[in-house]
Amino acid sequence: MGNPFDLTGQTAIVTGANTGIGQGIAVALARAGAAVAAVGRSSMAETQRLVEDAGAPFLEIRADLGTLEPVERIVAETLAWRGRIDTLVNNAGIIRRADALDFTEQDWDDVMNVNLKSVFFLSQAVARHMVSREGGGRIVNIASLLSFQGGIRIPSYTASKSGLAGLTRLLACEWAGKGINVNAIAPGYFVTNNTEALRQDAVRSEQILARIPAGRWGDPSDIGGAAVFLASPAAAYVHGIVLPVDGGWLAR
């Protein structure tokens, strides 16, 4: 038996790949052998350099997943480039912070559109391709600790990530029989743009670190192994899980 984590010859789409967790996942998939179509709103020059340094082909797709406009284009451009899609990583996400009493409809809709609505319809578009070629595939959603907990001052983010956990399970139930594995990763507290406000708040940062058994914030590179696992043959019988990668946060 060959290396069960080998992704050589496969093609992966990673959304939100310009920085942070998305970049860490893109690089890990590239190192495992996958070609990477990176989707993002801004320059992905650094991600491209890292992926190509790993010896993998790279495609940049500029897209704002705040609307459904780019969904079919993302699939079409990837298929024109490589002729197949083996893995979709739904990582793109945004956050808005305000007390629930003051939260606006705009902040609710903006977060839900990116974190949940676009995830479903991009997954649907990719799954249609996977079913049509009868080759199956992998969909990996990036959930959150807020898929399990409530949090504070992030109502639409918590709702979207709780919804994403449920959507992961539903799609797993519907698509497992079609050869598509749908799973999710729930990152803990990572050094990303979304957590910058927390890291700059000395009190909150200290409180968070005090609860993490690993004693540190996660680095985007820490998430790559979980993504490679769920995208690989090693996870062939894994369906509908939400895998925490959190330094032990939920265990405490």
Residue 189 bears catalytic tag: no
Furthest-apart CA pair in the chain: how many Å? 57
Cβ contact 185:140 at 8 Å: yes
Exposure pattern of 137-173 as b/e (b: 16+ CB <10 Å)? Answer: bbbbbbbbbbbbeeeeebbbbbbbbbbbbebbbebbe
Catalytic residue among 120, 157, 189, 217: 157
Query: Which phi and psi angles does 215 have, rounded to 5°?
Result: 80, 15
Cβ contact 206:189 at 8 Å: no
Cβ contact 190:220 at 8 Å: yes
DSSP state of 239: -
Quickly count helices (H) and strands (E) in the chain.
Answer: 9, 7
Rg (the chain; Cα; Å): 17
Residues serving a catalytic function are: 157
